[in-house]
Structure 1
């Protein structure tokens, strides 16, 4: 009676557990398969409870048929769950899981046909044993047991392969292997101590560790389901195309942008690129780079179709947890508009640089012209040996007089000048600062040994010089340049004649 209640509680817990996991992660394939698996366990345990309560052999036979069919389905669902958890590639591409499931489904169908038609191949009826109706083994019961064991060997082989290939799954697979080993040991121990290994309590002892392990693994995987969905949505909403190619060069994943380019899943990469119009040389260069060992990430530009579109293709390897290359990821970005704008910017940059160069040349020419004009503004003209004329024109302010002083000092330093003729005939006006500057020019010329003559001094200019206290004792004046030059020539002739007169004749 205790085993009955334990079995009843186990059925209720299995039902609640399967429903909870399905509600928790209905979009997660392992969660959906686990729900179906718990339903099979509920059916198996429920039929065991019902067989304890009925004495009708017909009903018992039907319950046995349901239990055996559920047991076969349980074996198939276990394989599907293991594949969804540890071999997800079986659910992609050509989906080899379909062919494997077809074999299991065929075996379950043959067993169901025998049970319904009562042909006696695997089950020859039922018999009452220890108060419970149990199936009688048929002539091919050994074959059925062998197929059932072979089915479990496939699952164990799947777990072993996943354990070897993917270190990240080793902890989960270890839990499952422990649960399976516990079930085998429990069955052996019950056989040694002469207890019924097919009883309800023994079935629960063998099932609980496996159910607990699968619950932990499925829940652990479903915790990441939200993150996976978010990542999947992010990839699908990207404006850039992203595609994943397996080791055989077959496209196994495309986001929405890649599909908009015209790429198709489960098609060779080279064929896909040629179909959408990528240049043959670009495809060949990509194939050559992918074939290079060791494979290194790289970026290339793909020319696409007519009108021409340019795609920037960034290629990187897809590595597993142990660093082995399992495929290739291509990140394709349309750079046609970017290249167009870059070309426009380059043209604009060239135009601006040309304009700047022209402006710099024009500025240099203006500077040269300004220097020439500045030099012509204060010309120094030698008219006789040691005689220098500097005509001044316009308004003499502080800035111009300072420049005049600079030019004059440079000239006096470079040439031996005895007479300096400053022609003020063209000077319109002179301000106070200009008058002070003119006073400095006269003083500096005197100190450098040049006698200065002011020519054509206007009354206002003379008043400005006197007002500013200019020392004019050493400065000669002349009305015109011609008069000043005539005075110099006359003085030189007089000096020369005087020298000849001072020399006594020799008798």
Structure 2
């Protein structure tokens, strides 16, 4: 019985292809217009490919079963459409309507053709329902998987953008942190910092937490792990941005930062870093007044001893 239903369905597609395209396209235009539109030529081309693949699958098997290997090419095509629409901002329902938009036109023509044969009408209606529901659900699954991949990629890109490692001076790096520091982000922070240490041969890394809203035990542990990893690469760390509230929290939590240099501001940490690397910043005026005998500018906060 399924073979007969598949043959009739393929025949219906072939005989009424233009009519089905017109009604299907009208529904698709209404959907795609809300998302900036899809060119008419592209929609027509997609419809033609879809119908040709479905008819080929219907004619290649005695069973109308979307889950069999016969329908591999249809699944591949629907996956491409779903992935494309996921990236274009369509919703899962709008994507599934690529398939479901054909059900109403098909049922209308079946009722007209098989009005005198209710048994055949019922059989073919059931076959179409099962087949198209399977295809529609498949587009939704692919859509959700694609969106999850996009979200994960965007999160990774945001993590990388939110953890820039900059070189403040020769052998001195700075890593300003903004937002919550969780396990995933800590891993990105470590990788970015360690890679930069390798590239520059830096001896000092300043981790600035001015933009971190709260510091709890977990955040403190993440910071200590980053410091330990940097030390293994031969670089000492200074943590700056220790506000009064954060200092009180760290003390209350009993977090041991005795082996880590901490400063209230990035500027204070930079001064310490310059001194530890044996460098100083000298004003241009001082260098001009005493050429050949450079000395620190009076009152210059970056001046070395």
TM-score band (shorter)? 0.3 to 0.5
Structure showing greater relative contact order (alpha-carbon pairs closer than 8 Å, 6 or more residues apart)? 2
- With the length of structure 2 as denominator, give the TM-score of the two structures: 0.45
- With the length of structure 1 as denominator, give the TM-score of the two structures: 0.29
Q: Which has the larger radius of gyration?
A: 1
